[in-house]
Amino acid sequence: AQSVTQLDSHVSVSEGTPVLLRCNYSSSYSPSLFWYVQHPNKGLQLLLKYTSAATLVKGINGFEAEFKKSETSFHLTKPSAHMSDAAEYFCVVSGAGSYQLTFGKGTKLSVIP
């Protein structure tokens, strides 16, 4: 069984300041981990994915995430927030032998000008 916990339902940052969205996972297998973003009235867009290669994963729009097995974490970061980053972010896990994605509850990111 696998699960994902996003530790914050809402994060608010000022434009130009760093972003940290926290995610912890639980998986019986070596997991594949993803971050998806959803802008209002848009679909779920893949930001980045970890699939057991490098533990630091770079994604689109300056986002990156670090896989830490010892902490079972996969936090999403960005050095400098932009207004266009305001959206909902989902941490997602899939397990070996299954195509089923398991989603966290999402973190809504607000960016204050």
97 binds other proteins (CB under 8 A): yes
Of the pair 19, 104, the CB lying nearest other proteins is at 104
Of the pair 92, 111, the CB lying nearest other proteins is at 92
Q: Distance between CA 73 and CA 56 in Å, rounded?
A: 12
Reference 79, options 16, 30, 7; nearest CA is: 16
36 binds other proteins (CB under 8 A): yes
Q: Distance between CA 81 and CA 14 in Å, rounded?
A: 7
Q: Looking only at residues 8 through 27 of this chain, which bind other proteins when binding is defined by CB under 8 A? A: none
In whole angstroms, the minimum distance from the beta carbon of 45 to other proteins comes to 8
List interacting residues with other proteins (CB under 8 A): 32, 34, 36, 41-46, 49, 51, 90, 94-106
